[in-house]
Amino acid sequence: MDKHNIQFPRIDTSDLNQDEAFFYLKTEDNVEKIMFHDYGKIYDNPGLYEQLYYDRLKCCSPQKVANALKYTIEINNDYFSTMKVLDFGAGNGMMGEELKKIGVARLIGVDILEEAKNAAERDRPGIYDQYYVKDFTNLGGNDIEEIKSWNLNALVTVAALGFGDIPTKAFVQALNLIDNEGWVAFNIKETFFYNTDITGFSKLIRELIFFEFLKINHLERYRHRLSIEGNPLYYFTIICRKNADVPVDFLKQENIS
């Protein structure tokens, strides 16, 4: 039985972008309109995130990206048990839970929202060896050294790229915190990988690959979840090797915002 009373709008929302979609949360005393990307409010309600995205909208991305990473590592004769992973945009720990299932040596969570950390500790205690609440566009030297002290060799971020949830600068900072030859696993909406998409994040991913900061090992199109109307939303899961750190002025040089 569903714990929360979720209602989708009766009007046609098919013209809205994913980050413009919303739903109504009904309680005995109130009806609240909540945006799909208002994660703070969603995390504050135990089980709401899972019920909305995974039960109602059939999201499968944490399992998909984790399994793709495991498969890629195995065919490259590497070992998942040696992975020290930065789960970037960790939210309430759903991706961390999938990574734990397939066995990682260390798992570090990072999110910009205190509500995300609280939800992860409430719903999935013990998943992370450490969970930081940090703004990766404004990390201090001590922050960088502390995170680097975990000797991270993998970066994972799921369902958080390309809608303003994680700025391009923050993603580059996270990428530079893992070892060269480390693994990078993420997913992006299918249009972000096309040349016709001129948004900042789309351009960043293509440039990182073109300039060989990242080398693709696995690329797969799949159904990320359903829209409110029940239409499939397709994403790519991408597994890469990191070849080198990204220079601090790279975003400015390539006119990426």
- What's the CATH code of the domain at 240? 3.40.50.150
| pLDDT above 60 (res 154) | yes
Give how many domains the chain has, as a whole number: 2
| pLDDT above 80 (res 148) | yes
DSSP state of 168: H
Query: Which pLDDT value is given to residue 77?
Result: 87
Which residues constitute the domain of residue 123?
Answer: 61-253
The Cα angle at residue 238 between residues 253 and 73, in degrees rounded to 5: 120
Show the tokens assigned to 98. 């999938």
**Whether residue 24 sits in one domain with residue 80:** no
DSSP structure string for 175-216: HHTS-TT-EEEEEEEGGGGSTT--SHHHHHHHHHHHTTSEEE
Query: Which pLDDT value is given to residue 255?
Result: 86
32 forms beta bridges with 25
Q: In what order do the strands lie in the sheet with 214-226?
A: 130-133, 106-111, 84-88, 154-157, 183-189, 232-242, 214-226
**Whether residue 229 sits in one domain with residue 168:** yes
Show the tokens assigned to 227. 């829209």
**Whether residue 186 sits in one domain with residue 234:** yes
Show the tokens assigned to 33. 């309109």
Pairing relationship of beta strands 130-133 and 106-111 according to DSSP bridges? parallel
130 within 8 A of 117, measured Cβ to Cβ: no
Distance CA 102, CA 240 (A): 19
Query: Considering the chain, what is the average pLDDT of its residues?
Result: 91
Distance CA 223, CA 170 (A): 26
Last residue of a domain, one of 56, 73, 99: 56
Distance CA 221, CA 223 (A): 7
**Whether residue 196 sits in one domain with residue 103:** yes
- Per residue in 55-67, pLDDT (tens digit) is 999 999 999 999 9
Q: Determine which of 5-9, 11-15, 209-213 has the lowest per-residue pLDDT on average.
A: 11-15
189 within 8 A of 233, measured Cβ to Cβ: yes
Average pLDDT rounded to a whole number, residues 144-148: 96
**Whether residue 48 sits in one domain with residue 76:** no
Average pLDDT rounded to a whole number, residues 29-54: 93
Average pLDDT rounded to a whole number, residues 81-101: 95
**Whether residue 148 sits in one domain with residue 74:** yes
**Whether residue 196 sits in one domain with residue 90:** yes
**Whether residue 29 sits in one domain with residue 125:** no
**Whether residue 175 sits in one domain with residue 80:** yes
% of the chain at pLDDT higher than 70: 92
Show the tokens assigned to 49. 């995130």
Last residue of a domain, one of 56, 75, 97: 56
Closest CA to 58 of 224, 240, 251, 237: 224
Query: Which pLDDT value is given to residue 192?
Result: 75
**Whether residue 76 sits in one domain with residue 46:** no
Distance CA 8, CA 36 (A): 11
Closest CA to 205 of 76, 182, 87, 216: 216
**Whether residue 72 sits in one domain with residue 9:** no
Identify which has the larger pLDDT, 109 or 18. 109
Angle between helices 61-75 and 94-102 (to 10 degrees): 30
Show the tokens assigned to 123. 């719903």
Show the tokens assigned to 116. 């995300």
% of the chain at pLDDT higher than 90: 73
Name the band, by pLDDT with cuts 50, 70 and 90, for residue 1: very low
Query: Which pLDDT value is given to residue 162?
Result: 61
Which pTM does this prediction carry? 0.93
Query: Which pLDDT value is given to residue 164?
Result: 62
**Whether residue 93 sits in one domain with residue 45:** no
